[in-house]
């Protein structure tokens, strides 16, 4: 029986899908794939790889191991919340203290897989932010890749997407020779993102495939190839792994590499560090062609491509009214959006930002994000409504020396014991029951009751009940930034 371990790479910030996707809530946690799905891209990715053992072709059973999810420490609660909505998924979270691209992420997964298994498992590695329309074809292609790997320690299998256009935003895989018994071709070389004319040549040639970044290989193969081609990443990854610590949340293992050691790992992608160096080496690369409606949703135009279209080929979400418009993507999250006489336009409305763009220029949204970054604008990374491990807060109003938030706390959850140097706070309970630590006092407040927390006072908000707690918080002071929080004690390890 072949041991197969899914690996979900759940990093990235999805800046080209701003303002819906931001660093605090990136695109993999959004519902974007169309087709009536109510699952996020991350949830779809987890579910997609966890059914590959259910319809194995003759030739051996697949023993599917616990899913390894590599994500940022700051996103662990988003991952945990969305995992709870999936049925019968066993998972371990490997938590990166900072982003170091996909090569170090896969290195952590390989080291963990070898340490926790008696075998040398086959890893099925996929990003968390792609969409696949044909699950049957995807499952069959992965099973072909697994059969390619079985019995061979130095083969890497990769899924190549049959191109549908002369796309310049993807890397390409050139195959050669005849297809083997597992529907795999040998990879001759990898090609970087081409210009338009070169991409058209690749499309007409028929031997070039898009590189989707979906790999199948043994854990030991990755580590051996990494040691061969990028010894610096191999050695620093090992040091970070040797300094790991572990705890758990809701029976899910949380494993953290050494923080300082991990920061010393060079940032590099799987492709650049290893895969593109393999053709012609001892590490043979095979490619299985995938024609399954794949899309990496790398820009708003791609979201339009996979969306459900009306008679005018418009894709709409939320409270939207269109007239005499076609080929548009319009998303509304908080208010009515109307559009008249538009063609090939993207409109994305959130509670705190509005994007209007030519659909063909949607890749350039990253330029808007870059400009926000130069101004240190919080809207670059955070929505008005911000998820937290204990619940969420929504900044509903702000002016000179004041800010108003609506805060919801999950049943049984608690904010950190904290204080602020520059602001005082007024709390009014509007729903549920609050247990409040205010200096030396611990008080209980019900709906329509309130308390005042002076500047510098130690305080904490807890929901002791079985239903969500909601309060209105009014901050007042000379500085109201989110970094004016001194955590003294925290249930979630942030102090």
* pLDDT value, residue 215: 96
Q: What is the DSSP string of 115-179?
A: HT-SS-PEEEEEESS-B-S-HHHHHHHHHHHHHHHTT-TTEEEEEEEPPSS--SSS-EEEEES--
Tens-place pLDDT, residues 206-262: 999 999 999 999 999 999 999 999 999 999 999 999 999 999 887 899 999 999 999
* pLDDT value, residue 402: 97
Tens-place pLDDT, residues 344-372: 999 999 999 999 999 999 989 999 999 99
Per-chain mean pLDDT for the chain: 93
Residue 396 backbone zone (phi > 0: left; psi -120 to 50: alpha; other: beta)? alpha
Tens-place pLDDT, residues 187-203: 999 998 899 999 999 99
Residue pair 52/154 in contact by the 8 Å Cβ criterion: no
3-class secondary structure, 9: strand
Rounded CA-CA distance 300/345 in Å is 10
Distances, alpha carbon 190 to alpha carbons 209, 213, 218, 277, in Å: 10, 12, 21, 9
* pLDDT value, residue 493: 76
Structure tokens at 485: 């929080």
| DSSP-assigned beta bridge partners for residue 62 | 2
Structure tokens at 113: 């897989």
Task: Answer whether residue 37 shows pLDDT above 90.
Answer: no
3-class secondary structure, 434: strand
Residue pair 241/196 in contact by the 8 Å Cβ criterion: no
**Angle formed by the axes of helices 219-229 and 102-115, to 10°?**
130
Closest CA to 367 of 101, 133, 16: 16
Rounded CA-CA distance 42/47 in Å is 9
* pLDDT value, residue 59: 47
The residue among 33 and 420 whose pLDDT is bigger is 420
Tens-place pLDDT, residues 435-491: 999 999 999 999 999 999 999 999 999 999 999 999 999 999 999 988 899 999 998
| Confidence grade of residue 153 (pLDDT, cut at 50, 70, 90) | confident
Q: What is the DSSP string of 255-307?
A: EE--HHHHHTSPP--HHHHTGGG-TTSSSEEEEEEE-S--B---SHHHHHHHS
Residue pair 488/458 in contact by the 8 Å Cβ criterion: yes
Cis peptide before 224 (omega within 30 of 0): no
* pLDDT value, residue 495: 65
DSSP state of 192: P
- The H or E element spanning position 449 is none
Rounded CA-CA distance 72/79 in Å is 10
Closest CA to 285 of 237, 225, 227: 225
Q: What is the DSSP string of 25-66?
A: B-GGGS--S-TT--S-HHHHHHHHHTTTTTTPPSS--EEE-P
* pLDDT value, residue 187: 96
* pLDDT value, residue 54: 61
| DSSP-assigned beta bridge partners for residue 252 | 249
Distances, alpha carbon 481 to alpha carbons 59, 370, 402, 488, in Å: 60, 21, 11, 18
* pLDDT value, residue 35: 61
Task: Answer whether residue 8 shows pLDDT above 50.
Answer: yes
* pLDDT value, residue 58: 47
Q: How many CA atoms lie within 13 A of 51 on its CB side?
A: 13
Tens-place pLDDT, residues 160-187: 999 999 988 899 999 998 888 889 999 9
Tens-place pLDDT, residues 114-129: 999 888 999 999 999 9
Largest CA distance in the chain: 76
The burial class, CB within 10 Å (0-12 / 13-18 / 19+), for 38 is exposed
| DSSP-assigned beta bridge partners for residue 475 | 403, 425
Closest CA to 484 of 407, 400, 425, 404: 425
Structure tokens at 218: 């043994």
| Confidence grade of residue 36 (pLDDT, cut at 50, 70, 90) | low
Closest CA to 71 of 289, 338, 273, 249: 249
Q: What is the DSSP string of 300-346?
A: HHHHHHHSPP-TTS-EEESSEEEES-BS-EEEESSS-EEEES-BSEE
Rounded CA-CA distance 478/422 in Å is 6
Rounded CA-CA distance 490/495 in Å is 6
Closest CA to 240 of 228, 226, 254, 257: 257
Q: What is the pTM of this model?
A: 0.90
Residue pair 11/105 in contact by the 8 Å Cβ criterion: yes
Cα dihedral 483, 484, 490, 495 sign: positive
Neighbours of 262 (CB within 10 A): 23
Rounded average pLDDT over 367-393: 91
Rounded CA-CA distance 29/82 in Å is 8
Domains of the chain are: 2-290 (3.90.550.10), 310-366 (no CATH), 385-489 (2.60.120.10)
Tens-place pLDDT, residues 254-283: 999 999 999 999 999 999 999 999 999 999
Percent of the chain with pLDDT strictly greater than 70: 98
Closest CA to 173 of 207, 130, 125: 207
């Amino acid at each position: 029986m072949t041991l197969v371990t899914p690996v979900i790479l759940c990093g990235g910030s999805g800046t080209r899908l701003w303002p819906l996707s931001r660093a605090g809530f990136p695109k993999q946690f959004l519902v974007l794939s169309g087709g009536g799905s109510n699952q996020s891209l991350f949830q779809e990715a987890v579910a997609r790889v966890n059914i590959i053992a259910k319809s194995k072709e003759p030739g051996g059973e697949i023993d599917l191991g616990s899913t390894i999810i590599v994500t940022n420490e700051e996103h662990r609660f988003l991952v945990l919340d969305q995992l709870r909505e999936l049925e019968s998924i066993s998972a371990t979270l490997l938590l990166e203290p900072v982003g170091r691209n996909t090569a170090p992420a896969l290195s952590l997964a390989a080291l963990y897989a070898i340490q926790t298994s008696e075998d040398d498992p086959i890893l099925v590695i996929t990003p968390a932010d792609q969409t696949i329309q044909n699950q049957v074809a995807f499952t069959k292609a992965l099973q072909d890749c697994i059969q390619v790997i079985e019995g061979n320690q130095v083969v890497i299998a990769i899924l190549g997407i049959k191109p549908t256009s002369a796309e310049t935003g993807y890397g390409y895989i050139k195959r050669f020779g005849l297809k083997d018994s597992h529907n795999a071709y040998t990879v001759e070389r990898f090609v970087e993102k081409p210009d338009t004319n070169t991409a058209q040549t690749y499309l007409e040639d028929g031997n070039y495939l898009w590189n989707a970044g979906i790999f199948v290989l043994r854990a030991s193969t990755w580590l051996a190839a990494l040691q061969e081609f990028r010894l610096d990443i191999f050695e620093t990854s090992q040091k970070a792994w040797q300094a790991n610590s572990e705890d758990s949340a809701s029976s899910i293992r949380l494993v953290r590499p050494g923080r300082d050691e991990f920061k010393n790992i060079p940032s590099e992608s799987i492709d650049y560090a290893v895969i593109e160096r393999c053709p012609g080496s001892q590490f043979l690369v095979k490619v299985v062609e995938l024609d399954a409606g794949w899309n990496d949703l790398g820009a708003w135009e791609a979201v339009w491509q996979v969306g459900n279209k009306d008679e005018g080929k418009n894709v709409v979400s939320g409270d939207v009214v269109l007239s005499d418009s076609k080929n548009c993507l319009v998303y509304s999250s908080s208010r009515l959006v109307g559009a008249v006489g538009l063609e090939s336009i993207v409109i994305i409305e959130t509670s705190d930002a509005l994007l209007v763009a030519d659909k063909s220029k949607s890749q350039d949204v990253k330029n808007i994000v870059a400009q926000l970054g130069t101004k240190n604008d919080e809207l670059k990374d955070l929505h008005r409504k911000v998820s937290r491990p204990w619940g969420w807060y929504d900044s509903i109003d702000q002016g000179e020396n004041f800010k108003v938030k609506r805060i919801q706390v999950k049943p049984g959850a608690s904010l950190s014991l904290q204080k602020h140097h520059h602001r005082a706070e007024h709390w009014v309970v509007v729903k549920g029951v609050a247990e409040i630590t205010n200096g030396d006092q611990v008080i209980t407040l019900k709906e329509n009751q309130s308390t005042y927390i002076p500047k510098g006072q130690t305080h904490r908000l807890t929901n002791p009940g079985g239903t969500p707690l909601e309060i209105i918080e009014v901050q007042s002071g000379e500085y109201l930034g989110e970094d004016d929080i001194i955590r003294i004690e925290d249930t979630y390890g942030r102090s």
